[in-house]
């Protein structure tokens, strides 16, 4: 008998809660695989998107893959989530920012919280993984490198970037890590501790 379509393929990570924060970049399409694979493993996935991210992948796509409403604004109706976006992060086991753009890395390093993604990052107490993606010259910019160094010292974990063909037709560092690499880094982070939700019910 075939499994029901809403049954996770291998729900070994049931009980974990993850926010996947998507920023504006062509690499956003890779994040679709990450969200789908997490959901199939039983992870509760909430996707948040910047306005620029929605120019590359529609929120309906991530809504279908995660099975949950997608967060796109600090001012959306509070029918399905807390309007302050703080309560969402209380039981969070990990937060992934992918693609982590030059702009978002700078915001996070400076403590700026002026959209739904940066606000979630600033309010999260869970481990935060960043998957940078940008032009090679932007990645090598001393300001970006200083921001990355600062975030690493604060405990943020970077996944990539790799080197290769970039969307801007340059070749070099700045290519977002492949979806499978990001997925394995995130799964490894989750498996390092039990789900927060499990502790809350004991």
Instruction: Give me the number of domains the chain comprises.
Output: 1
Which pair of tokens denotes residue 140?
């090598």
The predicted-structure confidence for 40-54, as pLDDT tens digits, reads as follows: 999 999 999 999 999
Q: CATH number, domain at 159?
A: 3.40.50.1950
Which of 23, 122, 144, 168 is the catalytic position?
A: 168
Domain residues for 103? 17-195
Which pair of tokens denotes residue 76?
């959306």
Average pLDDT of 119-125?
Answer: 91
Residue 112 to residue 133: CA distance in whole angstroms? 20
129 found inside a domain: yes
156 found inside a domain: yes
8 found inside a domain: no
Polymer length of the chain: 202
| pLDDT band at residue 174 using 50, 70 and 90 as cut-offs | confident
The predicted-structure confidence for 64-97, as pLDDT tens digits, reads as follows: 999 999 999 877 654 444 554 667 778 899 999 9
Flag whether pLDDT at 2 surpasses 50: no
Helix or strand holding residue 196 (H, E): helix 196-200
10 found inside a domain: no
Query: Do 35 and 8 contact (CB within 8 A), yes or no?
Result: no
149 found inside a domain: yes
Q: Which among 1, 49, 60 has a CA at the least distance from the CA of 22? A: 49
- Residues with Cβ within 8 Å of 115's Cβ and at least 6 positions away in sequence, in order, are 50, 51, 73, 74
Query: Do 97 and 136 contact (CB within 8 A), yes or no?
Result: no
Flag whether pLDDT at 1 surpasses 70: no
For residue 87, the tally of other CB atoms under 10 A from its CB is 11
Query: Do 58 and 31 contact (CB within 8 A), yes or no?
Result: no
Q: Which of the 8 DSSP states describes residue 87?
A: G
Q: What is the mean pLDDT of the chain?
A: 85
The predicted-structure confidence for 3-44, as pLDDT tens digits, reads as follows: 444 555 668 898 999 999 999 988 999 999 999 999 999 999
Q: Give residue 86's pLDDT.
A: 65
Q: Treating both helix axes as pointing N-terminal to C-terminal, what angle do 28-40 and 179-191 enclose, rounded to 10 degrees?
A: 40
Find residue 18's DSSP bridge partners.
45, 94
Average pLDDT of 131-143?
Answer: 92
The number of helix segments (H) and strand segments (E) in the chain equals 8, 7
Q: Which among 50, 192, 47 has a CA at the least distance from the CA of 127? A: 192
* Least confident piece of the model among 50-64, 110-124, 133-147, 187-201: 187-201
65 found inside a domain: yes
Q: Which among 201, 189, 39, 42 has a CA at the least distance from the CA of 128? A: 189
Q: What is the SS3 assignment for 165? A: strand
Is 144 an annotated catalytic residue? no
Q: Give residue 5's pLDDT.
A: 47
Residue 149 to residue 129: CA distance in whole angstroms? 14
Rounded to two decimals, what is the model's pTM? Answer: 0.86
200 found inside a domain: no
201 found inside a domain: no
């Amino acid at each position: 008998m075939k499994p029901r379509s809403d049954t996770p393929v291998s729900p070994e990570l049931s009980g974990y809660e993850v926010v996947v924060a998507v920023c504006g970049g062509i690499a956003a399409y890779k994040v679709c695989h990450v969200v789908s694979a997490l959901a199939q493993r039983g992870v509760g996935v909430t996707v948040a998107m910047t306005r620029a991210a929605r120019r590359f992948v529609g929120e309906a796509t991530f809504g279908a893959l995660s099975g949950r409403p997608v967060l796109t604004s600090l001012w959306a109706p509070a029918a399905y989530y807390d309007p302050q976006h703080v309560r969402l992060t209380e039981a969070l086991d990990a937060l992934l920012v992918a693609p982590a753009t030059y702009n978002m890395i700078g915001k996070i390093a400076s403590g700026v919280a002026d959209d739904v993604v940066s606000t979630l990052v600033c309010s999260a107490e869970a481990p935060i993984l960043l998957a940078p993606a940008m032009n090679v010259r932007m990645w090598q910019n001393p300001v970006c490198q200083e921001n990355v160094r600062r975030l690493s010292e604060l405990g943020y974990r970077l996944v990539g970037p790799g080197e290769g063909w970039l969307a801007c037709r340059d070749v070099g560092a700045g290519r977002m890590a492949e979806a499978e690499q990001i997925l394995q880094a995130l799964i490894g982070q989750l498996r390092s501790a039990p789900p927060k939700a499990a502790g809350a019910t004991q």
